[in-house]
Structure formats: structure tokens, C-alpha cells
Amino acid sequence: MRGSMKAYKSVALDSQKTVASPYKVVQMLLAGALERLARARSAMEQNKRAEQGELLGSAMTIVAELRAALDHQEGGEISVNLDNLYEFIMAELVVANSENSTEKLESISSLLRDIKEAWDAIPADQQQVPA
């Protein structure tokens, strides 16, 4: 049953990404990274190292996707700053995992929450990608 539910969620997420705007996809990625960090923290506190590593690896993959999606042509200084921040977050995820540091996970989560709050605050008329 667990495998079936996981497969269903994967298909549902892929379907959402197919029809979602680029703005919505970034929202979903940020939310997914935050969710994985929360679950990784719980696994860390329960000393479930394999689950912790898997969740942190998944969070790192999401952050790498966010970083790869940056448009440096259009994004200017903001995209450079986000690129640097995402690079920092990825390095901190490695350290958090190796040091088993819930404090680092909270710091990373706080950074991602700030990014998500700023992203969520973009007015609807500015969420469209120019043609």
C-alpha cells in the first residue's frame, strides 16, 4: 500500500507540474524542500540516519533544481544573489547531515521560508513569464 501511495503522489505531482505556471512550480518546489527538511529533522531527532540522508538528499535535489532554473539574463542581481544563497544552502545541508545538526536544519529552513514568503508575495499580475 505504501508503494502505491508513493507512486500516486509522484504521478499527481508530475501532473501538477505539467499544468502549473513556472511561478506555481517554484512555489511547489520551495514547499517540497521545506516539507523534506521538517521530516529530515524529525528523522534526525529519532536517530533514523538512512531516512534522514534520503530526505536531505531530496531537499538538496530540489534546491539544485531551483538553482538551475534561475534566469541570469533576466534576473540580474536577484538571480546572482539567489544562486549564491542556493549554493550556500546546499553546502549547509551537507554539513547538517554530517554533523547531525538540527540547528543547521532550522537555519536552512528559515532561509527557505524567507525565500518562499517573498515569492508568495509577488502580485498576481507579475507572476506570468513574459512572452
The CATH number of whichever domain residue 101 belongs to comes to: 1.20.120.340
> Does residue 10 lie within any of the structural domains?
no
> Does residue 16 lie within any of the structural domains?
no
> Does residue 127 lie within any of the structural domains?
no
Burial class (CB in 10 A: 0-12, 13-18, 19+), 10: exposed
Of 29, 6, 34, 46, which Cα lies nearest the Cα of 93? 34
Given a contact cutoff of 8 angstroms between Cβ atoms, the answer to whether 30 and 18 are in contact is no
Within 8 A by CB and 6+ apart from 36, the residues are: 55, 56, 58, 59, 62
> Does residue 72 lie within any of the structural domains?
yes
100 secondary structure, DSSP code: T
> Does residue 2 lie within any of the structural domains?
no
Within 8 A by CB and 6+ apart from 23, the residues are: 119, 122, 127, 128, 129
> Does residue 130 lie within any of the structural domains?
no
Confidence (pTM): 0.81
Overall domain count for the chain: 1
Host domain of residue 31 = 23-121
> Does residue 126 lie within any of the structural domains?
no
- CA dist 19 and 25 (Å) reads 9
Q: Summarize pLDDT for 64-116 with one digit per residue, the tens.
A: 999 999 999 988 999 999 999 999 999 999 999 999 999 999 999 999 999 99
> Does residue 80 lie within any of the structural domains?
yes
Q: Summarize pLDDT for 28-63 with one digit per residue, the tens.
A: 999 999 999 999 999 999 999 999 999 999 999 999
